[in-house]
Amino acid sequence: MARRKKIYEGKAKTLYEGPEPGTIVQYFKDDATAFNAEKKAVIEGKGVLNNLLSEYFMLGLTNIGVPNHFLKRLNMREQLVRSCEIVPLEVIVRNYAAGSMAKRLGIEEGTQLPRPIVEYCYKDDKLGDPLVTEEHIAAFGWASPQDMDDILSLALRVNDFLSGVMYGVGIKLVDFKIEIGRVYEGDFQRLIVADEISPDSCRLWDIETGQKLDKDVFRRDLGSLTDAYTEVAKRLGVMPKTSAPMGKPTLIN
């Protein structure tokens, strides 16, 4: 069996060289981390659920014309994506105050914001992904002013799409984080949505009960993360087809 070339191993995903130039295989691990990897666990089935959910959201974005890196799902844990140069920013969109923003500005969690607020963090684990302004981004050359216009537009389109999809299944999209990739096409470069969109990178609250259905369940020890993600997948109709999708493989003689 030929060994694949590993390109990068992150906290929740591993990237391998794809079968064709310009492609990457994105493998979703079961590892969960929080607070800059100070808290760690292996949550059986998380990778499968995030693979399916990210596929669902990225395909939806493709269908409404929001460019993204997704090409096709390969199996329960892997998807083929377009290789791109990741812009070193975490782009966060918030509809309701929660998490770091609630803390930073002293706003009660769950307060609806006057309009969606977009924030940028510099992607650097050692620094804990600090919040930065467009001044920092331009001065340090992480993205050009034209890029920032495109990034804002992508972020708001993803927000409208995701908010609507989640609202349709009784879930409030509190906030989310996306990453942006740069692809080159001849003389042009284009920005696309990359990485993943899953309950690992969103805050999702049940509209009726306020129950958290996202990674805060793990961050704040609120119960089973698999149950929370399974609930999101079930409501969206993207559950794995087999009855025991999350278990370990069984040896068949």
Residues that bind ligand 5GP (CB under 6 A): 90, 92, 98-101, 129, 175-177, 200-203, 215
Strands 188-194 and 171-185: antiparallel
CB of residue 24 vs ligand 5GP: minimum separation in angstroms? 18
Which residues are CB-contacts of 177 (< 8 A; sequence separation ≥ 6)? 90, 91, 92, 201, 202
Distance of CA 6 to CAs 27, 30, 146, 165, 198, Å? 10, 18, 33, 34, 23
Q: Do residues 194 and 84 touch, judged by C-beta distance below 8 A?
A: yes
CB of residue 250 vs ligand 5GP: minimum separation in angstroms? 31
- In terms of CB distance, is 189 or 226 closer to ligand 5GP? 226
Which amino acid is located at 125 in the chain? D
Task: Give the DSSP H/E element, type plus range, for residue 105.
Answer: helix 99-105
- In terms of CB distance, is 17 or 88 closer to ligand 5GP? 88
SS3 label, residue 21: coil
- In terms of CB distance, is 98 or 228 closer to ligand 5GP? 98
CB of residue 253 vs ligand 5GP: minimum separation in angstroms? 40
- In terms of CB distance, is 172 or 215 closer to ligand 5GP? 215
CB of residue 231 vs ligand 5GP: minimum separation in angstroms? 17
- In terms of CB distance, is 61 or 178 closer to ligand 5GP? 178
SS3 label, residue 102: helix
Q: Which residue is nearest to ligand 5GP (CB)?
A: 99
Q: Do residues 6 and 18 touch, judged by C-beta distance below 8 A?
A: no
CB of residue 198 vs ligand 5GP: minimum separation in angstroms? 8
